[in-house]
Amino acid sequence: RNAMRIAPSLLSANFARLGEEVSAVIEAGADLIHFDVMDNHYVPNLTIGPLVCEAIKPYATVPIDVHLMVKPVDALIPMFAHAGASIISFHPEASEHIDRTIRLIRDSGCKAGLVLNPATPLGVLDHVLDQLDLVLLMSVSPGFGGQSFIESVLPKIEAVRRRIDASGREIWLEVDGGVKPDNAARVGAAGADTLVAGSAVFNGGRYREAIGAIRAAALQ
Ligand code: DX5
Ligand code: ZN
């Protein structure tokens, strides 16, 4: 594999100086900015919305990768598109009409992603894979940064990689949750091409070293 995108999750950034944090991780090699939106309803935590996305947009010289953990989801899509999102991903459990939500995202000019929780079966991809730009596999249950990587997701990554390759389309395969330098090799070998990392990037304070270590491991 010759491409491995690293998407630092702002969830573990210093929220008192978010713009500087965005600039710092981009300077350190980030390919995307992962933006976690939680509503205290679909997930038991509350984070940031379109206003904050718009506020960081001037600092984000790489695409903003919005991960919506909200229910319902549709009304927020045009708002995030206007706020500068490039990619918008949502959980099928949070949408009454998955096909409609994907169309809303694409019609708003963004790339569309579907997010599968660790226990969500791959069958949800059956009738929509040809309309997706990205599949995001959760390797923790959504809601919090700093959780441990769930190993049973590794064969799931392999299975989605096979489906994407069989589709013949360019669909990104992103993995989110507990990704660290010490498991990134297995995540990359399983077929991921885009890795989210929150605590592994922000907690040590050495962004370039952390991003470099994850990327190097994943490309092994
Ligand atoms: C979890 C979020 C993740 C999280 C990743 O609900 O979707 O993006 O911030 O953080 P780490 O890398 O610390 O697991
Ligand atoms: Zn996320």
Q: Domains along the chain?
A: 5-218 (3.20.20.70)
76-126 tens-digit pLDDT = 999 999 999 999 999 999 999 999 999 999 999 999 999 999 999 999 999
User: What is the model's pTM?
Assistant: 0.98
d(CA 132, CA 116): 13
133-186 tens-digit pLDDT = 999 999 999 999 999 999 999 999 999 999 999 999 999 999 999 999 999 999
d(CA 49, CA 69): 11
d(CA 59, CA 57): 5
Residue 141 Cα to ligand 1 midpoint, Å, equals 9
Q: CA nearest 177: which of 135, 220, 147, 219?
A: 147
What is the predicted ipTM?
A: 0.98
Asked if the model's pLDDT at residue 1 lies above 70, the reply is: no
**Ligand 1 pocket, residue 133 CB under 6 Å:** no
Question: In the prediction, which pLDDT does 3 show?
Answer: 87
Average pLDDT of the residues in 16-43: 98
CA dihedral 194, 215, 202, 34 (to 10 degrees): -20
Of 1-15, 69-83, 132-146, the range with the lowest mean pLDDT is: 1-15
Name 173's bridge partners: 135
Using CB atoms within 10 Å of the CB of residue 59, give its burial: 0 to 12 exposed, 13 to 18 middle, 19+ buried.
middle
Average pLDDT of the residues in 53-66: 98
Residues annotated as catalytic (active site), given as ranges: 36, 176
Question: In the prediction, which pLDDT does 71 show?
Answer: 98
User: What is the Cα gyration radius of the chain?
Assistant: 16
**Ligand 1 pocket, residue 145 CB under 6 Å:** yes
Ligand showing the shortest atom-to-Cα distance for residue 141? 1
